[in-house]
C-alpha cells in the first residue's frame, strides 16, 4: 500500500496543494458515441471546490501561461463501455515550445491515491518548467477524487471527531471504539457513494489514462508518476505496454508487497526518517532545542505521545491535540526535510503546552482547510485502496502483528499497525494481493528511488524494476532525504529525468546521484 489507512499520509505534493459543487457526476443515461472521439472543451479553470481542497483559481504562470480545464467523459464501468459515464476533470498548460519542439502531453499523477492533480499541478508547475519546453503539462482528478465524481463519506464535523479518535487502543473498550468509528466511516462511504465505489480501482484509472492519451491526440502516453502515481503507471504499462512513451516513476511503490508488508515497510521508513531528523537536529552547531542527543530527541517525543494519550493539549480551538493528531502531524513533517524546522518548532511548542503547530501539520495530512472543510482525499484514498487490495485485516490479526511493528518503530508501530483495519468492513471486495505491473514490450521506464524516503522506502524501486521485466525498468538512485527525488532539485536527478523526457536519453542503469 502506498500510504496509511488510519493515519492517511497524503503525498507531499498533494498535501501542500491544500494551501459544494461537484461538476462531474455519474450520468443517468447510456451513451452511444465513441468516447475516444470526443473533443474536450478547454476553458479557464474555476476555483477548486471543497472536494479538491478549496482556495483560489490557479493564476497564470510568469510567462502568461494560462491554465485551462476540461471535463473528459469516461465509462463508469469499463466492462460496459456503452453504459453510464462519469466526468473526469483535467487541467493543462500549453508548452512554450513551437513546431517540432513539442513532443506531446506529459501527464502527471502526484500520488495518494486521492490527491487532486487539478490543484497540485499549478501549485508545483515551477518545478517542471523545464519539461514545459517540449510538453503540454497535464494532470487530472482520478475517478473518485476531487471534481471527478468524488467519493464522499462523513461530513466535516464527523471527520473532526474521526481524526481525533484514539488510533492505538490500550484496552478492550478503546479497541471497540476504534473498530466502531472505522465501521461508521466505511458505512457512510457506502451510503453516500455506493454507485462509484466498485469502479475506482487502479485498473479503472489506468484505462482512463489510455482514453486520456487518445483524447489528447497522443500516440504514446508520456507520463510522470509520483508515489501512488508509480503504481498507477505500472498498472498502465502492464495493460498497455505498446502505448508507453517516455515515463518516469519517482518515489516508487513496491508492487510486490501486500498491504501488511507495505505498511511494515513504511513503519521502518518513517522510523528511519525520524532517526535522520533527530541526528540532524543535534548535529547543528547551535543547540538542538528538543533534545541533547538523537536518542533524547526520540525519547522526549515518545514521552509526549504517551502524555497526550492521557491528557490532550490545547490545539486549534476548539479542538485539542490528541496522541493520534500529534502522531499524524509528526508523520506529515517527516515527508520532507523542508518540514524538519517546522517539526522542531511544533515539538518545542508542545513541550510548552501549545499543540497548534502539530495540529496544523495533522490537518495538512488529513486534508482539512483553515475554514474547517475537508477535501475528499481521505475518502478517495480509502475507497481506491480497499477496492485494489484483497486482504482484510481484523483486530486479532493486528494484535498478533504488533510486536514486529513495535520492533520496526517504537513510536509509530502501534499507530501504523492499527491502520490496517481500515478495509475490514468495506463494501467492495478487493481485487488482488498486489498489482501486476509486468510490462514486456514497453519502452524504457526510468525508476527513481530515494534512500531516505519514509513513505515509499527505497527498496521499492528495485522491486518495481524487477517486476516491470527485463529491459523495461531503468533504476536511478538518489541518496537523499524526503518523499521523492525530482522535487529535491538535485541537479543529477533532474538532469537524468529531463534528459530522458526531453531528449530520449536513457541514463545508465544503476546511476547514483548524491
Mind telling me the catalytic residues?
227, 453, 483
| Helices 377-388 & 202-216 angle (0-180, nearest 10) | 110
Q: How, if at all, do strands 104-109 and 221-226 pair?
A: parallel
Cell 517542471 found at: 128
Q: How far is CA 279 from CA 38, 276, 283, 471, 477, in A?
A: 55, 5, 6, 39, 22
CA–CA distance, 11 with 28 (Å, rounded to integer) = 34
CA–CA distance, 326 with 294 (Å, rounded to integer) = 19
Please give the grid coordinates belonging to residue 353. 503546552
Cell 463508469 found at: 76
CA–CA distance, 497 with 511 (Å, rounded to integer) = 12
Is the CB of residue 237 less than 8 Å from the CB of residue 468? yes
Within 13 Å of residue 313, how many CA atoms lie on the same side as its CB?
Answer: 24
If phi > 0 it is left, if psi is from -120 to 50 it is alpha, else beta; for residue 54 that is: left
Count CB-CB contacts under 10 A for residue 399. Answer: 13
If phi > 0 it is left, if psi is from -120 to 50 it is alpha, else beta; for residue 326 that is: alpha
Q: How, if at all, do strands 43-44 and 68-75 pair?
A: antiparallel
Task: Tell me the three state secondary structure of residue 480.
Answer: strand
CA–CA distance, 353 with 355 (Å, rounded to integer) = 7
CA–CA distance, 415 with 6 (Å, rounded to integer) = 8
Within 13 Å of residue 390, how many CA atoms lie on the same side as its CB?
Answer: 7
Q: Is the torsion defined by CA of 101, 103, 104, 109 positive or negative?
A: negative
Alpha helices in 68-201 (DSSP H): 117-124, 156-162, 172-193
Within 13 Å of residue 204, how many CA atoms lie on the same side as its CB?
Answer: 26
Label each residue of 206-270 as H, E or C.
HHHHHHHHHHHCCCCEEEEEECHHHHHHHHHHHHCHHHEEEEEEECCCCCCCCHHHHHHHHHHHH
Amino acid at each position: 500500500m502506498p500510504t496509511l489507512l488510519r493515519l492517511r499520509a497524503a503525498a507531499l505534493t498533494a498535501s501542500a496543494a491544500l494551501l459544494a459543487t461537484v461538476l462531474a457526476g455519474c450520468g443517468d443515461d447510456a451513451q452511444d458515441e465513441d468516447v475516444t472521439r470526443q473533443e474536450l472543451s478547454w476553458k479557464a479553470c474555476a476555483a477548486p471546490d471543497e472536494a479538491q481542497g478549496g482556495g483560489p483559481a490557479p493564476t497564470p504562470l510568469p510567462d502568461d501561461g494560462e491554465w485551462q480545464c476540461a471535463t473528459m467523459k469516461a465509462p463508469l464501468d469499463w466492462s460496459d463501455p456503452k453504459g453510464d459515464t462519469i466526468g473526469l476533470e483535467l487541467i493543462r498548460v500549453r508548452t512554450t515550445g513551437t513546431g517540432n519542439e513539442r513532443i506531446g502531453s506529459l501527464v502527471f499523477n502526484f500520488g495518494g491515491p486521492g490527491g487532486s492533480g487539478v490543484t497540485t499541478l499549478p501549485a508545483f508547475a515551477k518545478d517542471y518548467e523545464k519539461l514545459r519546453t517540449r510538453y503540454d503539462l497535464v494532470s487530472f482528478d482520478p475517478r473518485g477524487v476531487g471534481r471527478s465524481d468524488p467519493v464522499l463519506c462523513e461530513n466535516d464535523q464527523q471527520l473532526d471527531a474521526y481524526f481525533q479518535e484514539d488510533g492505538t487502543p490500550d484496552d478492550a473498550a478503546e479497541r471497540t471504539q476504534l473498530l466502531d468509528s472505522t465501521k461508521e466511516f466505511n458505512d457512510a462511504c457506502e451510503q453516500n457513494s455506493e454507485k462509484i465505489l466498485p469502479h475506482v480501482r487502479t485498473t479503472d484509472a489506468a484505462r482512463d489514462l489510455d482514453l486520456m492519451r487518445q483524447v489528447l491526440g497522443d500516440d504514446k502516453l508520456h507520463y510522470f508518476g509520483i508515489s501512488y502515481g508509480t503504481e498507477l503507471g505500472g498498472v498502465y504499462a502492464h495493460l498497455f505496454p505498446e502505448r508507453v512513451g517516455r515515463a518516469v516513476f519517482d518515489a516508487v511503490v513496491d508492487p510486490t508487497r501486500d498491504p501488511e508488508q507495505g505498511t511494515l515497510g513504511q513503519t521502518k521508513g518513517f522510523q528511519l526518517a525520524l532517526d535522520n531528523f533527530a541526528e540532524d537536529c543535534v548535529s547543528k552547531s547551535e543547540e538542538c532545542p528538543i533534545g541533547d542527543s538523537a536518542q533524547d530527541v526520540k525519547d522526549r517525543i515518545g514521552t509526549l505521545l504517551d502524555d497526550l494519550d492521557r491528557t490532550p493539549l490545547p490545539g486549534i480551538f476548539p479542538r485539542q491535540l490528541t496522541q493520534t493528531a500529534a502522531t499524524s502531524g509528526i508523520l506529515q513533517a517527516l515527508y520532507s526535510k523542508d518540514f524538519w524546522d517546522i517539526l522542531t518548532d511544533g515539538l518545542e511548542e508542545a513541550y510548552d503546552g501549545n499543540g497548534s503547530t502539530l495540529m496544523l501539520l495533522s490537518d495538512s495530512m488529513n486534508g482539512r482547510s483553515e475554514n474547517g472543510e475537508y477535501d475528499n482525499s481521505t475518502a478517495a484514498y480509502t475507497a481506491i485502496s480497499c477496492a485494489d487490495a484483497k486482504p482484510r485485516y481484523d483486530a486479532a490479526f493486528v494484535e498478533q502483528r504488533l510486536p514486529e511493528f513495535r520492533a520496526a518503530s517504537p513510536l509509530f508501530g502501534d499507530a501504523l499497525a492499527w491502520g490496517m483495519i481500515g478495509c475490514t468492513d468495506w463494501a467492495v471486495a478487493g481485487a488482488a494481493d498486489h498489482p501486476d505491473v509486468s510490462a514486456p514490450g514497453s519502452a524504457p521506464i526510468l525508476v527513481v528511488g530515494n534512500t531516505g524516503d519514509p513513505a515509499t522506502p527505497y527498496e521499492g524501486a528495485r522491486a518495481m524494476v524487477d517486476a516491470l521485466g527485463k529491459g523495461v525498468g531503468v533504476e536511478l538512485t538518489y541518496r537523499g532525504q524526503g518523499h521523492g527525488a525530482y522535487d529535491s532539485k538535485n541537479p543529477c536527478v533532474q538532469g537524468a529525468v529531463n534528459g530522458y523526457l526531453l531528449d530520449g536519453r536513457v541514463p545508465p542503469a544503476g546511476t547514483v546521484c548524491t
